Amino acid sequence: MVNDITVQELHKRMQSGEKLTVIDVREPYEYEAFNIGANLIPLGELPGKLAELAHLKDEEIIVHCRSGARSGNAKMYMMSEGFSNVRNLLGGMNAWQAEIGD
Protein backbone atom coordinates (compact mmCIF):
# COMPACT_ATOMS: atom_id res chain seq x y z
CA MET A 1 0.00 0.00 0.00
CA VAL A 2 1.02 3.56 -0.58
CA ASN A 3 2.97 5.17 2.23
CA ASP A 4 3.52 2.02 4.26
CA ILE A 5 6.86 1.50 5.99
CA THR A 6 9.37 -1.34 5.98
CA VAL A 7 10.92 -2.81 9.11
CA GLN A 8 14.33 -1.61 7.91
CA GLU A 9 13.14 2.00 7.60
CA LEU A 10 11.40 1.96 10.98
CA HIS A 11 14.37 0.32 12.71
CA LYS A 12 16.76 2.88 11.24
CA ARG A 13 14.56 5.76 12.36
CA MET A 14 14.18 4.30 15.86
CA GLN A 15 17.94 3.74 16.13
CA SER A 16 18.55 7.38 15.22
CA GLY A 17 16.43 8.48 18.17
CA GLU A 18 13.69 10.03 16.08
CA LYS A 19 10.50 10.71 18.05
CA LEU A 20 7.86 8.48 16.48
CA THR A 21 4.27 7.58 17.22
CA VAL A 22 4.08 3.80 16.89
CA ILE A 23 0.94 1.88 17.84
CA ASP A 24 0.88 -1.90 18.35
CA VAL A 25 -2.66 -3.20 17.65
CA ARG A 26 -1.94 -6.76 18.82
CA GLU A 27 -3.34 -8.33 21.99
CA PRO A 28 -1.59 -7.85 25.37
CA TYR A 29 -0.26 -11.44 25.44
CA GLU A 30 1.39 -10.89 22.04
CA TYR A 31 2.90 -7.61 23.25
CA GLU A 32 4.27 -9.29 26.39
CA ALA A 33 5.92 -12.02 24.31
CA PHE A 34 7.76 -9.54 22.05
CA ASN A 35 7.45 -5.81 21.41
CA ILE A 36 9.46 -2.87 20.08
CA GLY A 37 8.23 -0.38 22.68
CA ALA A 38 5.18 0.86 20.80
CA ASN A 39 1.98 2.06 22.47
CA LEU A 40 -0.29 -0.96 22.92
CA ILE A 41 -3.84 -0.33 21.71
CA PRO A 42 -5.45 -3.66 20.73
CA LEU A 43 -7.44 -3.36 17.50
CA GLY A 44 -10.74 -3.97 19.30
CA GLU A 45 -10.05 -1.04 21.62
CA LEU A 46 -8.93 1.38 18.91
CA PRO A 47 -12.35 3.00 18.26
CA GLY A 48 -12.62 3.91 21.94
CA LYS A 49 -9.10 5.38 22.02
CA LEU A 50 -9.30 7.65 18.96
CA ALA A 51 -10.24 10.69 21.05
CA GLU A 52 -6.94 10.31 22.92
CA LEU A 53 -5.11 10.34 19.58
CA ALA A 54 -7.05 13.24 18.01
CA HIS A 55 -4.13 15.67 18.49
CA LEU A 56 -2.12 13.44 16.12
CA LYS A 57 -4.58 13.57 13.19
CA ASP A 58 -2.08 15.30 10.91
CA GLU A 59 1.05 13.63 12.32
CA GLU A 60 2.70 10.44 11.11
CA ILE A 61 1.37 7.42 12.98
CA ILE A 62 2.89 3.98 12.38
CA VAL A 63 0.69 0.98 13.19
CA HIS A 64 1.83 -2.62 13.44
CA CYS A 65 0.63 -6.07 14.42
CA ARG A 66 1.98 -9.62 13.99
CA SER A 67 1.80 -9.88 10.20
CA GLY A 68 0.45 -6.57 8.90
CA ALA A 69 -3.20 -7.62 8.47
CA ARG A 70 -4.76 -6.18 11.65
CA SER A 71 -2.66 -3.03 11.38
CA GLY A 72 -3.80 -2.69 7.76
CA ASN A 73 -7.36 -2.68 9.06
CA ALA A 74 -6.37 -0.19 11.78
CA LYS A 75 -4.81 2.08 9.16
CA MET A 76 -7.92 2.03 6.96
CA TYR A 77 -10.16 2.67 9.96
CA MET A 78 -8.05 5.55 11.27
CA MET A 79 -7.87 7.15 7.82
CA SER A 80 -11.67 6.86 7.53
CA GLU A 81 -11.84 8.76 10.84
CA GLY A 82 -9.75 11.66 9.51
CA PHE A 83 -6.18 10.65 10.34
CA SER A 84 -4.16 11.78 7.36
CA ASN A 85 -0.76 10.07 7.71
CA VAL A 86 -1.14 6.50 8.98
CA ARG A 87 1.51 4.01 7.85
CA ASN A 88 1.36 0.23 8.22
CA LEU A 89 4.52 -1.69 9.14
CA LEU A 90 4.86 -4.18 6.30
CA GLY A 91 5.10 -7.75 7.57
CA GLY A 92 4.60 -6.68 11.19
CA MET A 93 6.50 -8.31 14.04
CA ASN A 94 7.03 -11.47 11.98
CA ALA A 95 9.13 -9.47 9.51
CA TRP A 96 10.81 -7.51 12.34
CA GLN A 97 11.97 -10.68 14.08
CA ALA A 98 13.06 -12.26 10.79
CA GLU A 99 15.00 -9.21 9.56
CA ILE A 100 16.05 -7.28 12.67
CA GLY A 101 15.91 -9.97 15.36
CA ASP A 102 15.13 -9.30 18.98
Q: Is 86 tagged catalytic?
A: no
Report helix, strand or coil for 62.
strand
Q: How far apart are CA 5 and CA 56, in angstroms?
A: 18
- Return all residues near 1 (Cβ < 8 A) that are at least 6 apart: 72, 75, 88
Catalytic residue selected from 10, 43, 65, 93: 65
- What are the residue numbers of the active site? 65
